[in-house]
């Protein structure tokens, strides 16, 4: 299954035939491709901004990093992977692997949302513009990015409070790049700690289970 993961070089190839024009470098082409993908995401979200809240995860929304708002109800019928992120963390290179995972499964319906947070070690101190630029230039991120949010404690975003109520303490981030998977019916399906890489069999199997609409089998042990 991981053989379907698309390497980071997809960015250059995604823009026309990948050939640089006069004065253009491959980095220019890659940046243009990422910006076009982000603009497409923004356009889709703006069209869905009036979507009414529903049950489960669909009752929640995030302020967007580069979008006005990310309403989870807009993705009804599609699995959603929510990951709290940071730019100055030992797990920050997971941005690249998250992008690969998103590319591998987006056509099948996966939605991926990064939620920057400064909760852990003050490792996300930047402004919205700084975070967006960092993600775009260093990792070619085109999946959705929420505005910086609190993800633990009494002041946590309501989505995280709901996830804890549904999944227990496993849903509470203990560090950056904790992952929560929502199934296609808006139910909290599973949570994964920071150490579980996006390309791990444990996580990709759960994503594929969510995409097929079946229940996640119990873990051994």
For residue 26, the SS3 value is helix
For the cut 70, the answer to whether the pLDDT of residue 22 exceeds it is no
For the cut 90, the answer to whether the pLDDT of residue 15 exceeds it is no
Mean of the pLDDT values across residues 137-148?
A: 97
- C-alpha torsion angle, residues 162, 93, 67, 149 (rounded to 10): 40
Question: Structure tokens of 31?
Answer: 């940046």
Cα 72 to Cα 22: distance, rounded to the nearest angstrom: 42
- Of 14, 73, 89, 180, the catalytic one is 89
For the cut 60, the answer to whether the pLDDT of residue 41 exceeds it is no
Residue bearing the bigger pLDDT, 180 or 68: 180
Q: If you average pLDDT over every residue of the chain, what do you get?
A: 83
* 3-state SS, one letter per residue, for 109-158: CCEEEEEECCCCCCCCCCCHHHHHHHHHHHHCCCCEEECCCCCCCCCCCH
Which residues lie closer than 8 Å to 201 by C-beta, 6 or more apart?
1
For the cut 90, the answer to whether the pLDDT of residue 54 exceeds it is no
Which residues lie closer than 8 Å to 38 by C-beta, 6 or more apart?
66, 136, 142
Q: For residue range 65-83, what is the model confidence (pLDDT) as tens digits?
A: 987 899 999 999 999 999 9
What band does 219 get if pLDDT is binned at 50, 70 and 90? low
Cα 69 to Cα 107: distance, rounded to the nearest angstrom: 22
Mean of the pLDDT values across residues 132-155?
A: 96
What pLDDT is stored for residue 46 in this prediction?
Answer: 47
Mean of the pLDDT values across residues 105-130?
A: 97
Strands (DSSP E) found in the chain: 61-63, 69-71, 80-85, 111-116, 144-145, 179-182, 188-192
What band does 42 get if pLDDT is binned at 50, 70 and 90? low
Q: Which residue has the tokens 């975003």?
A: 157
What pLDDT is stored for residue 66 in this prediction?
Answer: 83
Residue bearing the bigger pLDDT, 8 or 120: 120
What share of the chain in percent tops pLDDT 70?
72
DSSP β-bridge partners for residue 67: none
Mean of the pLDDT values across residues 189-212?
A: 96
Cα 5 to Cα 3: distance, rounded to the nearest angstrom: 5
Question: Structure tokens of 4?
Answer: 């379907």
pTM of the predicted structure, to 2 decimals: 0.77
Question: Structure tokens of 153?
Answer: 């404690």
Cα 32 to Cα 26: distance, rounded to the nearest angstrom: 10
- Supply φ then ψ for residue 114, to 5 degrees: -90, 135
What pLDDT is stored for residue 134 in this prediction?
Answer: 97
Q: Which helix (H) or strand (E) element contains residue 81?
A: strand 80-85
CB neighbour burial string for 165-178, b if at least 16 within 10 angstroms, e if fewer: ebbeebbbbebbbb
Q: What's the CATH code, domain 27-212?
A: 3.40.30.10
Highest mean pLDDT among 12-21, 35-44, 49-58, 153-162: 153-162
- Would residue 89 show up in a list of annotated catalytic residues for this protein? yes
């Amino acid at each position: 299954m991981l053989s379907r993961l698309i390497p980071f070089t997809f960015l250059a190839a995604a823009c026309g035939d990948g050939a640089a024009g006069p004065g253009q470098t491959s980095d220019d082409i890659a940046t243009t491709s990422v910006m076009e993908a982000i603009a497409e995401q923004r356009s889709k979200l703006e069209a869905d901004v009036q979507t009414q809240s529903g049950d489960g995860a669909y009752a929640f929304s995030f302020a967007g990093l580069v979008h006005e708002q990310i309403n989870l109800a807009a993705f009804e019928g599609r699995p959603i992977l929510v990951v709290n992120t940071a730019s100055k963390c030992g797990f920050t290179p997971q941005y690249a692997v998250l992008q690969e995972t998103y590319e591998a499964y987006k056509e099948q319906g996966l939605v991926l949302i990064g939620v920057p947070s400064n909760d852990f070690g003050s490792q996300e101190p930047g402004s919205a513009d700084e975070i967006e630029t960092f993600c775009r230039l260093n990792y070619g991120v085109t999946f959705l990015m929420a505005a910086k949010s609190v993800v633990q404690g009494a002041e946590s975003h309501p989505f995280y409070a709901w996830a804890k109520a549904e999944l227990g303490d496993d849903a509470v981030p203990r560090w950056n790049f904790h992952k929560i998977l929502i199934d296609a019916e808006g139910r909290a399906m599973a949570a994964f700690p920071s150490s579980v890489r996006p390309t791990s069999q444990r996580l990709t199997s759960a994503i594929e289970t969510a995409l097929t609409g079946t229940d996640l089998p119990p873990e051994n042990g």
